[in-house]
Amino acid sequence: MPYATINPTGKLTNNAGKTLTAATLNINSNGSGTGTYVDNGTSAITSANVQQHLTTGRNWYISSPVTGSTAAALSSAGSVVYWGEPDGGWINVTSGTALNPLMGYIAVGTNATGVVTFSGTLNTGDQSITLSRTPNVNKSGFNLVGNPYPSYVNWESAAKTNIGSTIWYRTKNAGGNYVFDTFNGVGTNNNGTGAVSAMIPPMQAFWVRVNDGQSSGNLGFTNAMRAHETGTNKLKAPAANNTALQVLRLQVSNEGNTDEAILVFNENASNAIDTYDSPKMTNANIAVPEIYSVVGNEELVINGMNNFSPTTEIPVGFRTGQNNMFSIKATEISNFGAGTQVILKDNELMTEANLTDGNAYTFSSDAITTTNRFSVIFRSSSVATGVENNQSNDMSIVVFRNSNSQIVVNCNRNIMGKASISVYNAIGQKLTYKTINSTSTVLEQNYNAGVYFVSVVTNGKTITRKLIVD
């Protein structure tokens, strides 16, 4: 036949023992998704045109599913770059430069919404790439690679020599900030559109890392690792539910941005650093708070552990680049025994919060990176805990609304040093800030009906009260 076409979100499999003959194979894409092709049989295809739908005003991490296409295919981007690990920096790609299979690229600053088309010979068969780890450079050992096929490919089946078991996706969240999604047995959900899985979408670029102590590594894929995936075949696949592992997913939020850390208990993992752990890739953005667990000096976004005990405190790190109101909650608690309680301990305020029922712990913080303020404890309901709810039992701070709909803050202790009051709405936006030197303060702004959090900083302590105005 002169040509064959796979429509957007369509799936075509050439089964073993069969032959698909076409002068041209077109794999199309639109805003709903991209077609995929798996050739388990024999493909007699002269050339292919593979589309990927991109939207304007952002960067896209992308790879080529064909051999012979050039960077000119990404003409809607302001520029095209790849990561030069030996130099620790981005390298520009000219429009006539061939895009290498298995290399990852960034289409920087796309200026039009629509499809880009990769034209050439469809990638199939064994694909491999040699990667490097150069000492004393930025992002030592991190390499940006990409799915070489016009189908999904299974990361967990990939051949890895001196390569870690983690992949990192860079993506844009609903708040317009770039964040990392991480996969290593389970996936983080920092972009807010669904946790990622082992199935890497076609034309998706992602980060991997050569192991510490190694100067090089190799990554390889084969046809047997390819598959179609359910859903719409957009960049970044949704995660399948993992029903066997004990998983705790912690999420920190401020006004419009979230970040996650995951604790996973696996009988094959150790409680030390091993292949079941994924280092934290910082977003380096003051607007995006970050949460992670800590093992030794290592920050982990996914912490694979062998077991836990009711007396074990697992350190939880927190980082923010700006003063704000934040909340921490457990968005997933899976496969723990009946009666298990997940306790978040605030070592600064000496309070504990039970996250088991989906309650969020709300707190204020200055710009800080700390690994000793918070910790997680798993307790049986039969263990006496002394757990407090999100509101401290310390009644030295009293907050109420007066008859003029103004907030009144009474501090029944001496005001010492620099003290302040901040008021936040339910989504963490700061509405009011006022320095104080009196034990009683009236905030003269009128507050409409809603939920507010009043944070008082005094005597080196921060105390937060929740106030409902009706």
Arithmetic mean of pLDDT over the chain: 88
Let me know whether 213 and 287 are in one domain: no
CB atoms within 10 A of CB 227: 16
Mean pLDDT of 65-89: 97
162 shares a domain with 305 = no
Domain-embedded: residue 389:
no
Mean pLDDT calculated for residue range 323-339: 89
Among 173, 196, 227, give the residue marking a domain's end.
227
Of 380, 405, 424, at which residue does a domain stop? 380
The span from the CA of 93 to the CA of 104, in Å, is 12
**Cβ contact 67:43 at 8 Å:** no
3-state secondary structure of 155: helix
Kindly give, in sequence order, each residue whose CB lies less than 8 Å from that of residue 357, ignoring residues fewer than 6 positions away. none
Nearest-angstrom CA–CA distance, 246 and 242: 9
Residue 24: the pLDDT is 95
pLDDT for the residue 410: 79
Range in 107-111, 195-199, 389-393 with the lowest mean pLDDT: 389-393
Residues contacting 40, CB < 8 A, separation 6+: 13, 14, 15, 16, 223
Asked if 82 and 152 sit in the same domain, the reply is: yes
Q: Is residue 175 part of a domain?
A: yes
Size of the chain in residues: 470
Please identify, among 348, 380, 412, the residue that sits at the C-terminal boundary of a domain. 380
For residue 28, is it within any domain?
Answer: no
Give the per-residue pLDDT at 396.
61
Question: Residue 402 sits in a domain of what CATH number?
Answer: 2.60.40.10
Instruction: Report how far residue 350's alpha carbon sits from residue 327's, in angstroms, rounded to the nearest whole number.
Output: 17
Is 25 part of a structural domain of the chain? no
DSSP, res 73: G
Average pLDDT over residues 133-154: 97
Whether residue 295 sits in one domain with residue 187: no
Does one domain contain both 298 and 201? no
DSSP strands (E only) in 41-104: 42-54, 60-62, 66-67, 79-84, 89-92
Looking at the fold, whether 423 and 457 belong to one and the same domain comes out as yes
Are residues 205 and 92 part of one domain? yes
Burial grade of 404 (CB within 10 A; 0-12, 13-18, 19 or more): exposed
* Range of weakest confidence among 231-240, 265-274, 306-315: 231-240
Q: Contact, 178 vs 145, CB < 8 A? A: no
User: Which structure tokens are listed for 336?
Assistant: 């723990």
CA separation (Å) from 153 to 15, 55, 135, 303?
17, 24, 31, 25
Q: Are residues 109 and 250 in the same domain?
A: no
Please give the tally of structural domains in the chain. Answer: 3
**Tens-place pLDDT, residues 424-447:** 887 777 888 888 877 788 888 888
Mean pLDDT value of segment 264-282: 93
Q: Are residues 213 and 172 in the same domain?
A: yes
Element (H, E) at 11: strand 11-14
In 123-233, DSSP assigns E strands to: 127-132, 142-146, 152-154, 159-161, 167-172, 178-183, 199-200, 205-209, 216-221, 226-227
- Is 45 a member of any domain? no
pLDDT at residue number 445 = 83
Q: Are residues 66 and 149 in the same domain?
A: yes
pLDDT at 287: 92
* 89 and 174 co-located in one domain: yes
What's the rounded Cα separation, in Å, for the pair 251 and 177? 16
Do 223 and 253 share a domain, yes or no? Answer: no
Q: Is residue 335 part of a domain?
A: yes
Query: Is 182 a member of any domain?
Result: yes
Is 176 domain-assigned?
Answer: yes
- Domain of residue 262: give its range: 246-380
Query: Residue 389 — pLDDT band, cuts 50, 70, 90?
Result: very low
Res 96: pLDDT: 95
